[in-house]
Amino acid sequence: QVQIVESGGGLVQPGESLRLTCTASGLPFRVSTISWYRQAPGEAREFVARITGEWRLKYSDSVKGRFTITRDNADNRAHLQMTNLRPEDTAVYLCNIFYTEDYWGQGTQVTVSS
């Protein structure tokens, strides 16, 4: 059974940083594509960042230069390092893993507010 758990969210002030973690089990993590999405209240789900099994990276324009996605295959974890956070980054952040099909976690709340 595939399980995906996100952690690391919280309340921060503008300009601060957070590091999100996606922990997975039940699938071949090393060859899976890991993505982060986010969804703000009343908004559509938005792509944030992706790392493939070959370590190919992709970022949305809104986070490029501020967010960094990495993976630790030994621990079946992926991380999203978020710096210089802005109020518009406020959302539930969800981890998506693709291996023959899409799997989703429940999400972790990130709130950026002064």
Q: 35-70 b/e with 16+ CB inside 10 Å = b?
A: bbbbeeeeeeeeebbbbebeeeeebeeebeeebbbe
Contact 104, 35 (CB under 8 A): no
Look up tokens 């996100």; give the residue.
Answer: 6
pLDDT tens per residue, the chain (114 residues)?
Answer: 999 999 999 999 999 999 999 999 999 999 999 999 999 999 999 999 999 999 999 999 999 999 999 999 999 999 999 999 999 999 999 999 999 999 999 999 999 999
